Structure 1
Amino acid sequence: MATVTHGPLQAAVDSSVANKLTNPKVQLLLKRIGLQYQRTDEIILSEVAVASESVVRIPVGEELLLSLSVDKIALSEVFAFKSAEDAQLGLMGLLELLDFPIEVDLEQRRAEGWFISEDRHFLLTWPEELSSETAPAQVIINGQSSVISSQSLRSESDDLYIDADILSDWFGIGMEFDFVDLTLKLHPETPLPVQRRWARKNRKSSTRSTYSNIAVLPWRESTYQAYSHPLVDVQLYGSTSNNGLVGGYSVLGSQDLAYLNAEYYMGGNDADIISDLRLKLTKESTKADLLGPLRATQYQLGDITPVNAGIGNTGGLSRGGRFSNYDIGRVVDHDKINLNGDIQPGWDIELYRNGLFIASQLSLKNGRYEFNDIELLFGDNQFEMIFYGPQGQVETKSKQVFVNSNALTSKESNYGVSVTEVGKSLFGISGLGKVGHQGWLVSGLYQQGVTDWLSFSLGHASMLAKDGDDKQSYSLGSNMSLFDNLLLQASYEIEPDAVQQGLFSARTRIGDHSLGLRYNWRQTNLPDNILQDSETNQYDLNLSGRLFADSALPLSYQTNWNHFLSNTGTRRDSVTQQVTFNSYGMLVNNKLSWYQSVSQLDENERITGNLRLQRSFGRVSTRFSAGYRLSPESELTILSLDSYIPITSQLQSELSLDFFPITDKYNTELGLTWHEEKYSLNSNINYDDDGDWSIAVNYRFSFGYEPITSQFFTSRHSLANQGSMMVRVFEDENANGVFDEGEPIVEGAKVKGLQSHRQALSNENGVAMLQGMQNNLTTDIVLDRDSFDDPFLLPAIPGISITPRKGSIEVMDFPVVTASELEGTVYVKNAMGTEKPAAYVTVNLVDDNDKLIATAETEFDGYYLFTDLLPGHYRASIDSSYISRKKLHGADELELSFKASGDIINGADFTLDQIQFAKGYVVNLGDFHSLDILKTYWGIVRRNPDNVLTYEAFYVFNEANEKYMLNVAFYKESVQAQNSCQSLAAAGLYCNVEAFEFEL
């Protein structure tokens, strides 16, 4: 059936409460709600009076309003009538909620369409009078016809009500009624459209949560400044002992200087006012637009780490410069990694990978930690560094590196170049190298991806030695990824007439277990009279993973085997086994090592181990460790116990005991730490059995400058090594997005950095300070609306994303406004002029740019509501698909405007007129894909001398088959159309008769 629709748009706005209350549909709604509460009260009273009564007695024929749900998805309410078995449900209301494209025509007593899938055709017809004496209703589903007793149906002015068990059989949906809570739960055999939509939505949500570390809000670039106020960490210390009085300080800072980031460290003591001084200037860009044609992403000047251009170890800090185009924040070497940084002196650091101890650095004196050339396993590498401060602080820093392919993709390349004076610092105050290793070092490394599974590298280093001969080295390497589960590496390095060495490694993963094999060969050209190892071979095998991962006692393990052999007969073998499990609040770690060395001079073998236990008992945290030796003799070497005991929320105590069984010596230390928000103060007393004692005091704080309030601030947390952000939250009274003098600030608002996992509350100045944000990790900055004291306030913008930098304080003004609301009712008016509420109608709200802002669906009484609307101009309209599907005249759009102070607009009603049709039959002369072809065909027919046509033709576009229908002769009755078609057929024209309706 083709339909021609036309007509003017209409809108009606009824803001009179009195008119609404006199509306019969509103009165019916109030009656229904009253009956529902009345029934609930009756049920409760009935249950109290007769405890054994298990069935709610609702009279047959009573009108019900049931809450419909499927898979915990609340759909809406559906009207029903109580039946003897359960209930009769409204067909139109149910189909709307299930989203089945079945059209119900109450006037024609016909429902037709499909459900679940297009091959499940549905057709229902029923008689005008529903009684036992009239003909039964008939339903055809997938070509199978059946009849339904008219007593199973109930015809009302608003819907056709059908027994629930019949609907259940038709659509394959189990129904579970609860007449106490007035609910209806659906249990479909095949997932419903609404279930599929929710599943798709959940899949998208899962995807988003999987990639929750990716910021999605508009990004604001952090630009370098000529000068920015510094972020500085300060530590002061002093101690007295039976050996005298000592004291010192250290300063660690970071800021923008000359459009670069400056990091500096200075330390001194009572003997040397400046014993160490370092400076590094850095500039980074994710756009690779630094240094002109070099397209670098980073360059550094000052005290830097040189580029490792070969197989050897990475060098330490030296003065010079370096530049590269490595992606910022990306690991460019999938074989090994460097983890280093600046820190205040006196800290202990432990490094773990996948929960297993790797290395430690104790009581750092130079304000820097360096874990260089840490091998990467195939698969997941979860690194965690635990920092133990001299004042009892415990901090952690983590980094994840996942290795399962080449670091470079096809045709991708990168490079790094450095020029350094080895063994010298920028200011020459602290020596960084060893005597005999000083000089100028120029090193560079170039890597090129050939395919996604093959890459190669070229390296060169030139050492201009201060003393001795200059040295040159060249390296060639290749990486290969095979079968998505095997990484191969081969490297060769040569120093002409001096040294050559090679490296081969293979890494793979089997289930939860990583396996790595490494072979290193080195040959040195030495005079014949020097008895040294001129050729060495070294083999390493590493196996690590997890056992019983799904049990209550998951076990992490790592086994290392090393074999070293030289041409002089020197052989060294070692096996290290480490096992860790963390369960029931206890961490247990045991490391057992066997070592054997055989040379021409001696032979040595030993077995040593270390056991570590960590457990918290209420508020007390304890750490116990025991060092032991099993060979050549079995004995304990050291026993240690550390206890952290919080006394108050600000005062903490630490007690450490060390006992050395071999020498029968002990050492004790008691520490007290006072934590304030702006500083921390620590004192400790140390005593041993030799009578040596010491008393020390440490004072630590950090400070910076607030650009918004023009005030200095202090904190006990480190600021220099990470980024910070200041956010001012204010009420944007004029909706211009800018803080203007006199606009109210918002105190107590929670500001969140989502990916950096930081949050802070705005203070009395409306300013929230996010500290300790991870460098180069882009994070979304948002407001938590639940933290507002005023529930009607909402953020005026979703937020922004930033990429924090060391020494940089990002500043943002975050506007909030008062939310506006829009509410109204949608009515449908029939040909008699009677209005009734329209349920489940989609109302759209768009802005000035025609962007869809929100949608709302009317309730069973036609009511719709939009909340949390921002200031601006909007247009509200009825969704066009509903108007087309229901064959209605559209209503005019409503022009709306909301202020920043918040508006509530009610009575924004729509009245939709039903389209009136003249129904009959037409003689169809054919369907055409093209309108031009239709007109050409009609011209030929009209010019035919034997033409018997006496009526004007018209055409209609049929949206169902996307064809143009050529029609003539509109008749009220089918017989008339058939007679005309027979006359045309006799004249040699093809035709057929089709039902048709004209819009009036």
Structure 2
Amino acid sequence: MPSIPRYPVPLLLLFLFFCSTQAYAREEPQYDEILVPLMVQNIGSTEIPSIICKDSIYLSISDLFNFLKVRNSFSPRQDSLTGFFITPQAVFLIDKVNNRIQYQGKSFTLPSGGLFHTPTGLFLQSDYFEKIFGLLCVFNFRDLSVTLSTNIELPAIREMRQETMRLNINYLKGEIKADTTIARNYPLVHIGMADWSVIATQRLPGTSDTRLNLTLGGIIAGGETNISLNYNNFSQAHQETSHHAVVNKSFDEKQQYYRWRYANNDHQALRQIIAGKIFVQSTASVYAPVVGLQFTNAPTTSRRSFGTYTLSNYTEPGWIVELYVNNSLVDYTKADASGFFTFQVPMVYGNTLVKLRFYGPWGEERSREESINIPFNFLPRHEFEYTASAGIVEDGHNSGFSRIQLNYGASPKITVGGGMEYLSTVTSGKNMPFLNTSVRIMPSILLSGDYTCNVKARGILSYRAPSNLEVELNYTRYKRGQTAISYNYLEERKLSISRPFNSRHFSAFSRLMLNQVLLPDTKYTTAEWLLSGSILGIGTGLTTYAIFTEQAPLYAYSNLSLSFRLPAKMMSTSQLQYEYNNHKPISMRCELSKQVFHHGYVNISYEQNFKSRITNIGIGFRYDLPFTQTGLSSWHNNNMTTLVESLRGSLIYDNKTKFLDANNRISTGTGGIILLPYLDLNCNGQREAGEPRVAGLKANISNGRIQYSDRDTLVRITDIEPYTNYHIELDPNSFDNIAWQIKKKSLNVAIDPNRLKLIEVPVAVLGEVSGKVYLNREGQGRIIVGIYNSDSILVAHILTEPDGYFNFMGLTPGSYTVRLDSSQLLRLRLSASTTVIPFHIICSNDGDMVDGLDFQLFVP
């Protein structure tokens, strides 16, 4: 924001009334320079040296062009200015000696009062900026400001657009630049997270049972370690009343979970090592947990950037074409003489919305858009990915299982893969080699398929139209007699058609699914038609199911659900299930819920099943305390009353800051950050003894929960996804003291799992220096002042204001000198009694200020 001019209003008005003071040059009338605010459309504002006379304003040409990023340079005597405007071919010469401007082969002769020359530069009357360069400068005499507008794409605007495009492209790719990057840590042993829950159930008449869960999250040998212990005495209580054999133990090993994972996304050859209960994507039917090892070079986070593709087309000649990807401007160009244009479109995984906007020279505007879908099973070109797993299946037989899968991005449109799977209990063939491929036939048409030897073959074809209509065909053929998959299907055919609908009064989504299964002796077909949306603020869902078999007639029924808000912040939800064969309802359910006491929720429900003649009435209450979530509910049906009480929460601990927090969310498997701001008195970026903490730091992050603590000055960010780099912006205006400044305002932090990462934020305590430059006892503006450190390195380069005043904030403690520019003084034919003044900035909690550094100039 521009600063307020330093002149008192009465003196300024008096100056404008007489419009004459001391002369700056022998040939010019007597004028003074002042700073006026300049607002430029689509760029911003600044203050620019100007001369005002009567109702006209004269702007400093060099300062204006520098702000607009127009190249210009003065002659040695500063009586002419040369450069080029927008393009190197558009050369200009502003010549005060001949009172003339040459631009693009044309010569413009100026009147005697159109161009002023002072020792600090050339000033052109504002009207001529529009007549010659197309820059409309509107002067507001009442508030002494200038507004500049133009239809020309100025270099400053082009630079801002290019910077915006670079930021948008980096955001799409997940590559956001920061002032500093903080990598992951791999401690030897650390326990930082714990989740717990207690659920007790009583049945009257009947049995009672209790379910307990304790999950611990930490780091062992640099790897994420999660252990989940589960206890459930339902089977034991059931045995006491039914006298049947116990099927499951109260503390069943199958229900326990433990896993260790070492991950480093910077290692391309091996990014993850996993031990314990591993997740496998098996072709064979594996329903029990697998205990073993897994190695992969797949990253822990989902890929975002896939690559680029060339988009070219024709429009009107000379039109400007802008490219938007997911509503973010990423590129623009100008169509050639034939109307041809081309772009390299960055693609990201998932659905990418590509939009083109066309702008004509007379204000015409058109647009066109298309969607590109990149599934996550596609790999970028020449990228290789593998996953190898091996272990024992906890199925009671200790079955051996192993699987290795290889995938390769052959081209931007084709990904191929294959591998081998082994399961010792498969009688039709323990070894199962397989192949898979994915092909992007067109931006909106995808084909993928896989084949497993002696098990099955599958193909999937999907299409997405510009109207967001999606069609997917899925066909699977199974090997007769195979035992790898538990069911005995011969063929499976699926068709899915979906499309969203939007208007001013409603939004809806429709999907039709057909599924046909062929068995050795029969076949059956199921159909599902879904309609879901919001009509006049009422959430509506209608799902119709139909089953076709050869042995029985068509069976069809529908589920209708409605949800809407009632007065007093209540929500009503109703559901009805209707059978078409018998033309009567099957069941109905109504629920009424309301938020109470800010963090409490109460709900009442009634359910009637007309087919089974069962009636359920329930009431429930949940209240979220800061440290736990509590719940109490009760159901009553025809013969039984059930009561359920629940408590759940989590703990977070950090040993370095001795922080212990209890909350009502799941914490295990997440990460966090602790920001510790401190006064960096010597500005070396490292915290040392005697440098105190400072309160008031404000931070911004795209995800997570931020907690500010005035007691210990810390900023805690929790509930963050681990193994992901997060961009944190620190507010430079967090502190009231302007001497406290944050040098590194943006952080790129790699999040550790089950751990709060401590980051010390240095707040530099900077000094300020000020002074004045005089010429014949009056302030002299536009004089170059340099500030140098003890090694004679330039630290700051500033210009004095019209009254000769200068100041600079941002000096670290140490010895400095302030110097006048000797070459400028020589050019202006001025001398100074002294051109160098030493000063010292001392360490202080509030910052040091040195003033009174005055220079006296004179004409030799």
Q: Give the TM-score of the pair, scaled to structure 2.
A: 0.75
Whether 1:771 aligns to 2:718 is: yes
Deviation at 1:510, TM superposition (A): 2.4
Cα gap change, 1:792 to 1:566, in 2 (>3 Å): same
Q: Determine the structure 2 residue equivalent to 1:899.
A: 843
Matched residue type, 1:563: Q
CA distance in 1, matches of 2:583, 2:543: 16
CA distance in 1, matches of 2:744, 2:635: 56
Whether 1:443 aligns to 2:406 is: no
Q: Determine the structure 2 residue equivalent to 1:476.
A: 435
Q: Determine the structure 1 residue equivalent to 2:453.
A: 494
Deviation at 1:792, TM superposition (A): 4.5
Query: Which shows bigger deviation, 504-513 or 612-621?
Result: 612-621
Cα gap change, 1:713 to 1:843, in 2 (>3 Å): same
Q: Determine the structure 1 residue equivalent to 2:210.
A: 247
Q: Determine the structure 1 residue equivalent to 2:299.
A: 327
Cα gap change, 1:566 to 1:300, in 2 (>3 Å): same
Deviation at 1:333, TM superposition (A): 15
Q: Determine the structure 2 residue equivalent to 1:421.
A: 392
Pairing 1:331-480 to 2, within 5 Å after superposition: 379-380=350-351, 403=374, 407-422=378-393, 424=394, 433=395, 439-465=399-425, 471-480=430-439
Q: 1:802 aligns with which of 746, 749, 752?
A: 749
Q: Deviations over 1:533-589 (max 9, x none)?
A: 9772222223334344x8564443333232333464x23223323333358765443
Q: 1:256 aligns with which of 204, 219, 226?
A: 219
Is the CA contact (8 Å cut-off) linking 2:350 and 2:376 kept in structure 1? no
Deviation at 1:277, TM superposition (A): 2.5
SS at match of 1:770: strand
* Bigger Rg, which one: 1
SS at match of 1:450: strand
Is the CA contact (8 Å cut-off) linking 1:590 and 1:611 kept in structure 2? yes
CA distance in 2, matches of 1:809, 1:480: 43
Q: Deviations over 1:956-992 (max 9, x none)?
A: xxxxxxxxxxxxxxxxxxxxxxxxxxxxxxxxxxxxx
Cα gap change, 1:709 to 1:194, in 2 (>3 Å): closer
Q: Deviations over 1:347-404 (max 9, x none)?
A: xxxxxxx9xxxxxxxxxxxxxxxxxxxxxx994399xxxxxxxxxxxxxxxxxx9625
Q: 2:131 aligns with which of 169, 181, 187?
A: 169
CA distance in 1, matches of 2:475, 2:414: 20
Whether 1:301 aligns to 2:275 is: yes
Q: Determine the structure 2 residue equivalent to 1:519.
A: 475
Is the CA contact (8 Å cut-off) linking 1:845 and 1:855 kept in structure 2? no
CA distance in 1, matches of 2:122, 2:738: 43
Q: Deviations over 1:502-555 (max 9, x none)?
A: 11222343223333222111121489xxxx99772222223334344x856444
Cα gap change, 1:898 to 1:194, in 2 (>3 Å): farther
SS at match of 1:150: coil
The structure with higher relative contact order (CA 8 Å, sep 6+) is 1
Is the CA contact (8 Å cut-off) linking 2:373 and 2:443 kept in structure 1? no
Is the CA contact (8 Å cut-off) linking 2:556 and 2:579 kept in structure 1? yes
CA distance in 2, matches of 1:107, 1:324: 69
Q: Deviations over 1:175-216 (max 9, x none)?
A: 323222222212234234444444444444544555567463
Matched residue type, 2:270: A
Q: Deviations over 1:19-42 (max 9, x none)?
A: xxxxxxxxxx9767543478999x
Matched residue type, 1:520: T
Query: Which shows bigger deviation, 207-216 or 650-659?
Result: 207-216
Cα gap change, 1:621 to 1:446, in 2 (>3 Å): farther
CA distance in 2, matches of 1:751, 1:121: 47
CA distance in 1, matches of 2:77, 2:225: 81
CA distance in 2, matches of 1:809, 1:777: 14
CA distance in 2, matches of 1:201, 1:773: 29
CA distance in 2, matches of 1:333, 1:173: 41
Is the CA contact (8 Å cut-off) linking 1:682 and 1:697 kept in structure 2? yes
User: Percent of pairs identical after alignment?
Assistant: 17
CA distance in 1, matches of 2:779, 2:305: 70
Deviation at 1:96, TM superposition (A): 5.8
Q: Determine the structure 1 residue equivalent to 2:267.
A: 288
Q: Determine the structure 1 residue equivalent to 2:510.
A: 557
Q: Determine the structure 1 residue equivalent to 2:309.
A: none
CA distance in 1, matches of 2:118, 2:738: 43
Deviation at 1:155, TM superposition (A): 7.0
Cα gap change, 1:880 to 1:691, in 2 (>3 Å): farther
Deviation at 1:698, TM superposition (A): 1.6
Q: 2:640 aligns with which of 692, 702, 705?
A: 692
Q: 1:839 aligns with which of 774, 777, 782?
A: 782
CA distance in 1, matches of 2:151, 2:192: 66
Is the CA contact (8 Å cut-off) linking 1:332 and 1:407 kept in structure 2? no
Whether 1:278 aligns to 2:257 is: yes
CA distance in 2, matches of 1:649, 1:173: 57
Q: Determine the structure 2 residue equivalent to 1:718.
A: 666
* Cα RMSD after superposing both structures: 4.8
Whether 1:70 aligns to 2:22 is: no
Is the CA contact (8 Å cut-off) linking 2:48 and 2:59 kept in structure 1? no
CA distance in 2, matches of 1:534, 1:546: 36
Is the CA contact (8 Å cut-off) linking 2:415 and 2:438 kept in structure 1? yes
CA distance in 2, matches of 1:906, 1:625: 75
Matched residue type, 1:541: L
Pairing 1:13-92 to 2, within 5 Å after superposition: 33-36=9-12, 66-71=36-41, 73-83=44-54, 86-87=56-57
Pairing 1:155-194 to 2, within 5 Å after superposition: 163-194=125-156
CA distance in 2, matches of 1:776, 1:403: 23
Is the CA contact (8 Å cut-off) linking 1:305 and 1:315 kept in structure 2? no
Q: Determine the structure 2 residue equivalent to 1:649.
A: 598
CA distance in 1, matches of 2:481, 2:69: 83
Number of aligned residue pairs: give it.
762
Deviation at 1:750, TM superposition (A): 3.9
Pairing 1:613-624 to 2, within 5 Å after superposition: 613-616=562-565, 620=569, 622=571, 624=573
CA distance in 2, matches of 1:152, 1:173: 16
Is the CA contact (8 Å cut-off) linking 1:487 and 1:507 kept in structure 2? yes
Deviation at 1:876, TM superposition (A): 7.4
Cα gap change, 1:757 to 1:405, in 2 (>3 Å): closer
CA distance in 1, matches of 2:799, 2:119: 23
Matched residue type, 1:607: A
Q: Determine the structure 2 residue equivalent to 1:540.
A: 494
Deviation at 1:106, TM superposition (A): 12
Cα gap change, 1:845 to 1:118, in 2 (>3 Å): farther
Structure 2: tracts of 5 or more residues without a match? 18-30, 237-248, 307-325, 327-347, 354-371
Is the CA contact (8 Å cut-off) linking 2:438 and 2:447 kept in structure 1? yes
Cα gap change, 1:314 to 1:297, in 2 (>3 Å): farther
Q: Deviations over 1:881-913 (max 9, x none)?
A: 999999999977978656363222345678999
Pairing 1:932-947 to 2, within 5 Å after superposition: none
Cα gap change, 1:644 to 1:835, in 2 (>3 Å): same
CA distance in 1, matches of 2:482, 2:104: 92
Q: Deviations over 1:672-710 (max 9, x none)?
A: 33332222322223333x263233322222124331243
Pairing 1:619-698 to 2, within 5 Å after superposition: 620=569, 622=571, 624-662=573-611, 665-688=614-637, 690=638, 692-698=640-646
CA distance in 2, matches of 1:629, 1:723: 47
Q: Give the TM-score of the pair, scaled to structure 1.
A: 0.65
Is the CA contact (8 Å cut-off) linking 1:404 and 1:484 kept in structure 2? no
CA distance in 2, matches of 1:727, 1:559: 51
